[in-house]
Copies of this chain bind each other. A is one copy, B any other.
Amino acid sequence: MSFSSKVRKSLSLEDSGYSGLVLEKLSSSRIQIGDTISVTKDGVEHTGVLMPRSQVGSDSIHVVIKLTSGYNIGIRMSQETVVHRIKPRGRRQAAPTETRIETEGLPHISILSTGGTIASKVDYRTGAVNPALTAQDLYDTVPELQNYANVHAKVLMSVLSENIRPTDWTKIARAIALEIESGADGVVIAHGTDTLGFTAAALSFALRSLPVPVVLVGSQRSSDRPSSDSAMNLTGAVTLAARANAAEVMVLMHAEIGDSYLHAHRGTRVRKLHTSRRDAFQSVNSRPLFRVTETEIVELNPPLLRRELERKLVLKPKFEEKVALVKTYPGVEHSLLDHLIDTGYRGFIIEGTGLGHAPDSLQSSVKRAIDAGVVVAMTSQCIFGRTDLNVYRSGVELLAAGVIPCEDMLPETALVKLMWSLANSKDGDAAKSLLLTPIAGEIDMRSEESEYITRFGGV
């Protein structure tokens, strides 16, 4: 698989599986995927949204439209068939934001969509990557879902995940709480992959005493591509949320480049490590919790169990936004930290080098920050392994100045946790103490060095 392939912003007719006569007729009427069209054949007019064909096989004589009933039909075209666009393009038709389908006796799973590639499948109306996800769309893609879950699907927001902010974490956490209070046996969050790890960490802290699984899921390749991971990841997420005995916030994504299995990662221990591969997400300093295949869920690392009797969630959804993540590098200037101190920042996560070092040139500003009441904590840009400020002089001096070593926490998780700790503590000292208190499997005083490369070959 070469890097050169691209997701097109607007799906062409050719790429959608149309050819020959049908392609010719659609093209000559300037019709695109997602247009509402009229097809008149033998005196009967059919009206609906033009669908792509790549996923249902392809020939050169059928056109497929989605009727307002939700059903797709294929119409055999001939030279005499009349086809034209009947609605202006440009404005996106509003998707229904909530749908519910019920089968007695099955677990209830809520799917909250926040946006991103995973939720782009259904937007045939524009052919663009616009987030939307309804239960109907889901069932269209993966009809088997109906066999093992009642899905309650809801569009919570439509945000590319690079634009997710801490206030969105609050909103998502509150929405999850509502679903759980309404009796959901598990919740799935569809999310863009860019900041999926940050949101997973945030929800891990915000949802205390979680009684059921919360599974974040994304997609590295949109569903208009043959190599898409959307359907498998989403099916896996619903299965995991419905069946796993685990009351944790997890991230479920492909575990390898093929379609053989998925990994469920602990929300505070996972990171996107590749820009485009389907197995981009990897657990860091920790084993994944589950291996998920079409037929089984295998535990790899003991999770917290479902709390069937005591379902009372404790919601702590607030985050302090005035926390910065600062990565050090040769030549980094202390004026950067000074600027943050002067603009009211309450916390810094330094992403230092090696065991958790920063250049001596930053020391005076670090001390100034701590004197001003800013919480300064240290992580490592190595990503894997743990900080240890006791080994070298630089580290010892930072410790003496009051810098908190974040042990084996990911820099991204430490950032989110400090935002959460500051919002949930009466003062900086309490926040410091909370930062080093294990809350959601994010920190371990004795994690093993072995959790480095064994993950990469598969478990």
Contact = CB atoms under 8 A, between A and B. Distances in A.
Interface residues of A, number: 88
A274 interface: yes
Interface in A367-420: 380, 382-388, 390-394, 396, 408, 412, 415, 419
Contacts of A41: none
Interface in A305-339: 319, 321, 323-333, 335-336, 339
A160 interface: yes
Contacts of A449: 1-3, 257, 274, 276-277
B6 A388 contact: yes
Contacts of A257: 449
Given A3-B408, A330-B195, A331-B323, A354 B162 contact: yes
Which residue among A336, A390, A392 has the maximum number of chain B CB atoms within 10 Å of its CB?
A: A392
A353 B271 CA distance: 11
Contact of A456 (B1, B195, B383, B457): B457
B280 A382 contact: yes
B382 A274 contact: yes
Given A195-B330, A386-B3, A163 B452 contact: no
Given A382-B273, A453-B457, A162 B388 contact: no
A35 interface: no
Nearest to A128: B393
Given A6-B388, A6-B391, A448-B2, A358 B324 contact: no
A430 B419 CA distance: 41
A398 to B, nearest CB: 10
B383 A273 contact: yes
A452 B329 contact: no
Given A274-B385, A382-B272, A194 B354 contact: yes
Nearest to A358: B162
A355 interface: yes
Contacts of A382: 272-275, 280
A211 interface: no
A165 interface: yes
Nearest to A412: B329
Given A194-B353, A195-B330, A335-B343, A3 B388 contact: yes
A186 interface: no
A290 interface: no
Given A163-B394, A336-B339, A390-B6, A276 B355 contact: yes
B394 A162 contact: yes
A352 interface: yes
A4 B275 contact: no
A417 to B, nearest CB: 13
Nearest to A198: B330
A15 interface: no
A193 interface: yes
A81 interface: no
A213 interface: no
Which residue among A9, A194, A257, A452 has the maximum number of chain B CB atoms within 10 Å of its CB?
A: A194
A296 interface: no
Contacts of A442: none
A316 to B, nearest CB: 17
A360 interface: yes
A15 to B, nearest CB: 14
Interface of A: 1-4, 6-7, 9, 129, 160-166, 168-169, 192-195, 198-199, 257, 272-277, 279-280, 319, 321, 323-333, 335-336, 339-340, 343, 351-361, 380, 382-388, 390-394, 396, 408, 412, 415, 419, 446-450, 452-453, 456-457
Kindly list the 9 A-B residue pairs having the minimum CB-CB distance in the complex, ordered from nearest: A275-B385, A194-B353, A456-B456, A194-B354, A162-B357, A453-B456, A274-B384, A274-B385, A339-B339
16 contacts: A3-B388, A3-B408, A3-B449, A6-B388, A129-B393, A161-B353, A162-B328, A163-B360, A166-B331, A169-B330, A193-B354, A272-B354, A275-B380, A324-B336, A333-B343, A336-B340
Given A2-B449, A162-B352, 12 more contacts: A162-B358, A165-B330, A257-B449, A273-B382, A273-B383, A274-B449, A275-B384, A279-B453, A324-B336, A329-B415, A336-B340, A456-B457
